[in-house]
Structure 1
């Protein structure tokens, strides 16, 4: 990751020279320089004591070495009695001391740090495109676009109990929590304001997804307006591009295919990139080929196998910055890595499902239907279960000590704002708001951005457009779900630009064959990171958890796709602790049942 794609800084009252030196040392510990293309973990191997216990001056590089384009990368100043300093990307706004746009836009920041007299303001856009973290030490606020850059400030980083529990419920860490105690995340669509000597902290909402006053009922009117909004949204994303070739992630689904068609229609030179899973029964690759041929654009297929995934997991975990437990992360890391060889700007179709009530919204609709037949059921609980992770299995998953620690934690609180009925007038707006705030802003968007930035790519998502989003909240439910046809109105528009068999086909989703992979090449990773010895050392999970999963003893998680999903969830968490947090444990032992193949372990259990 180069210096234009991250920032880290401070604001507060302390010795200004000491603060500036410590800031530069954060960069040195993270092995980032103006000539570096990657961000390596600052705690690999683990450094005890944090940077505050070292002789600052003895390890600081001369500030002249942090130059790029003739300008000092270290910027510092003083407003009234408060000192500030920043290293990283240049400001996009006049009143900002730091800001960042994942898409590389000049006047449209995804995260920003502003100063107003005796006030520090940390802000994040509503779509959650890029994370923003902060840490308070005495009278100084440290902030960064990457959590790893703040880790060296802590003498002994400690895992957040709330974060681990939330991760096991959702496959992402719910904001404002982060995996590390004392470090917090700014929530999407909000600003955090620090006043005076940083003792006063105020949170304010910038924007909230909500139903519009007027509703569009006429289908022809909706089609006409949507065509205009889609073209305008794309134009805002390509207005700075000249004659350069751009890339597009093309799955062969409706959203990515529509973005590819809009790019071609706008006259851009386009190269498409698709993931090719040779081991799956139902491959999406032929659909991507159909779209590419129809649009007359080259298609680059990135083969995804258990071997290529295994090799890329460590780098992906570092690039993600914090744990994301969905299986698509490594395949997309490989796609971005390949795309970087050809292009610097890459488009995707993310957020289309959130805006137009696609398949990611089905869980909350299912919960609503269930509640209508079971009036005494709790809607939030039903929705929480639709994430299909480990909520409800606490007694089987966690150690007794960890169960006591999470006993008072209410996972419902992480969903409360997203499911607040005060903002919406109907079920479709309610579940689209929830999907935008939960699956979108806390999972899909930040993980995609982190992976793309790790490769030096500018990632652009035309569906992450506020004008377009506000317009979709005017649509009636009938225009989004027509009988059993989801995203109906978007398909009506797309049929003018794409083959009908692409537009109207049933969405299957990305079929990552995780369970099959774990039976083969990935079993060695399970043996190393999820053994009873490792889990017992950490004390959070039941030491026999992996064996329970393999033998089908974890409640409703029997053999099949769910087994692979849960093992992946746990594996990414454990590898993050090892590769990013720098926790070194003895992961090899001959007294480990996982030396046996998984098929044997299941057979042994049946014979018993």
Structure 2
């Protein structure tokens, strides 16, 4: 959200931290979250929860429920934070299904107009801007729209090295199509290892997705050239990306005992359902009932959303977008003095999408149907129509490769001695993750690395806190 949309006020007392307050409606995308803590008779608010826990009398411990949420989602969900007593003010849930008769050709034209308007509004008077270009549809479309709006775009793509650099060829094709050079940003084990601690220090809360540190590296490269960076974040959540299909299939073929909440939680591929295997008895007691589904119900069971696809979109916008992607994006950019812009995170655009029929999003096995049609003429057809691959961050190879510095970082941060002292995680279970034999039934090798990465980032973030967090289980 542009800075002009925010004003600064003082809350609680003259010694209270500054709070970012929207001039108009609250931000439903979580780009600028606000946090609060109750101390005595006063409630203090701030845009950075780390400010609140430094107040005299603020708790120093860990919120056990938020820790459980992190293990399920790779970020603290809902209003939870890892700081005991500090809560995130929930983003509003404005999404309502408003069916409107519209033919597909008219919808394509409207979508093109709304996207162009969002890009122009976020661009403002700037002319030199960066774009984080993955090679996928969303970021490529943003780059093309910026170029059409007259911006001089500087393109930045991650280079994981072979054999994990297959997306680079698609980013290069987009760069060639736009007539702009592509800056390849190295994200090899040594580069990532050097960026671990500054990334953890930049985050208000921990984010356990393996792409987090590579995103920090993108900002580090971009700051040498631009002060504002654009990306395609939010496109998957808004237009029913590839992750929607497994949920719809599960709904159709789940059979007896099927649970929509359990199926949705399974899409995160973290520790939901394996808590007793990972956590110590003391940690299990501290967490209590462990109802992870409570974080899903406000979206999955929302009034005004009778269509399953729109419910899934609303849940994705809130849980995967507003509570994860958007704040992570903003905080990692700010660490380098950059402003982050995500044109898909536009309220007018989002509200309009909930007027559309479900088959405008998923047509047969092809996701983002309407968005692909809107991109025609702006991008090469081969890029628009290619199957979704996602950013294949090689976390498993990073953390288990014998010569990788990240293997030794995980060994140090997740040592059995430290884990026994903390009393949260079973050392033998974490050791199994590090060896790669945590779950014999797991068919995708990458999942074990993603779980181990989430634990490593949690500990890195904990170690970065000042004053230190009290890890003890009370």
TM-score computed with the length of structure 1 as normaliser: 0.72
Higher normalized strand content (fraction of residues): 1
Partner of 1:159: 62
Does residue 364 of structure 2 align to residue 478 of structure 1?
Answer: no
Tell me the SS of whatever aligns to 1:467.
helix
Residue deviations 1:482-528, cap 9 Å, x none? 11111011111112111011111111111111111112221111111
Q: Distance in 2 between matches of 1:316 and 1:469?
A: 30
Q: Once the 2 structures are TM-superposed, how far is the Cα of residue 86 of structure 1 from its aligned partner?
A: 5.2
Tell me the SS of whatever aligns to 2:427.
coil
Residue deviations 1:99-131, cap 9 Å, x none? 3xxxxxxxxxxx4499xxxxxxxx841011122
Q: Distance in 1 between matches of 2:10 and 2:116?
A: 40
Cα 1:149/1:481, change in 2 over 3 Å: same
Q: Distance in 2 between matches of 1:545 and 1:7?
A: 47
Tell me the SS of whatever aligns to 2:30.
coil
Q: Is the 8 A contact 1:279 1:305 kept in 2?
A: no
Q: Distance in 1 between matches of 2:346 and 2:36?
A: 27
Q: Distance in 2 between matches of 1:497 and 1:477?
A: 24
Partner of 2:158: 275
Cα 1:149/1:421, change in 2 over 3 Å: closer
Q: Give the unaligned 5+ runs of structure 1.
A: 13-18, 24-84, 88-97, 100-110, 115-122, 190-206, 586-608
Q: Once the 2 structures are TM-superposed, how far is the Cα of residue 536 of structure 1 from its aligned partner?
A: 0.9
Does residue 273 of structure 2 align to residue 392 of structure 1?
Answer: yes
Q: Comparing both chains, which one has the higher relative contact order based on Cα–Cα distances under 8 Å and sequence gaps of 6 or more? A: 2
Tell me the SS of whatever aligns to 1:355.
helix
Q: Is the 8 A contact 2:60 2:469 kept in 1?
A: no
How big is the alpha-carbon RMSD for the aligned residues of Structure 1 and Structure 2?
A: 2.5
Match of 1:185 among 79, 88, 108: 88
Q: Is the 8 A contact 1:356 1:487 kept in 2?
A: yes
Tell me the SS of whatever aligns to 1:267.
coil
Q: Distance in 2 between matches of 1:309 and 1:389?
A: 22
Structure with max Cα Rg: 1
Tell me the SS of whatever aligns to 1:423.
coil
- 1:30-41 correspondence to structure 2 within 5 Å: none
Does residue 7 of structure 2 align to residue 11 of structure 1?
Answer: no
Match of 1:330 among 209, 213, 218: 213
Partner of 2:303: 422
Cα 1:281/1:301, change in 2 over 3 Å: closer
Query: Which sits farther off after the overlay, 357-366 or 460-469?
Result: 357-366
Cα 1:317/1:530, change in 2 over 3 Å: same
Does residue 5 of structure 2 align to residue 128 of structure 1?
Answer: no
Tell me the SS of whatever aligns to 2:229.
strand
Cα 1:477/1:584, change in 2 over 3 Å: closer
Q: Once the 2 structures are TM-superposed, how far is the Cα of residue 421 of structure 1 from its aligned partner?
A: 4.5
Q: Is the 8 A contact 2:136 2:383 kept in 1?
A: yes
Match of 2:419 among 535, 539, 547: 535
- 1:338-487 correspondence to structure 2 within 5 Å: 338-371=221-254, 374-487=255-368
- 1:232-271 correspondence to structure 2 within 5 Å: 232-238=117-123, 240-242=124-126, 244-271=127-154
Cα 1:5/1:492, change in 2 over 3 Å: closer
Q: Once the 2 structures are TM-superposed, how far is the Cα of residue 155 of structure 1 from its aligned partner?
A: 5.8
Q: Distance in 2 between matches of 1:552 and 1:246?
A: 45
Partner of 1:521: 405
Q: Is the 8 A contact 2:61 2:469 kept in 1?
A: no
Residue deviations 1:558-581, cap 9 Å, x none? 782112101100001111111125
Q: Give the unaligned 5+ runs of structure 2.
A: none
Match of 2:43 among 141, 152, 156: 141
Pairs aligned (count): 464
Does residue 428 of structure 2 align to residue 547 of structure 1?
Answer: no
Does residue 396 of structure 2 align to residue 494 of structure 1?
Answer: no
Query: Which sits farther off after the overlay, 450-459 or 218-227?
Result: 218-227
Q: Once the 2 structures are TM-superposed, how far is the Cα of residue 378 of structure 1 from its aligned partner?
A: 1.8
Tell me the SS of whatever aligns to 1:142.
strand
Q: Once the 2 structures are TM-superposed, how far is the Cα of residue 215 of structure 1 from its aligned partner?
A: 4.4
Partner of 1:572: 457
Q: Is the 8 A contact 1:336 1:451 kept in 2?
A: yes
Q: Once the 2 structures are TM-superposed, how far is the Cα of residue 148 of structure 1 from its aligned partner?
A: 1.5
Higher normalized helix content (fraction of residues): 2
Partner of 2:71: 168
Q: Distance in 1 between matches of 2:358 and 2:6?
A: 40
Cα 1:152/1:6, change in 2 over 3 Å: farther
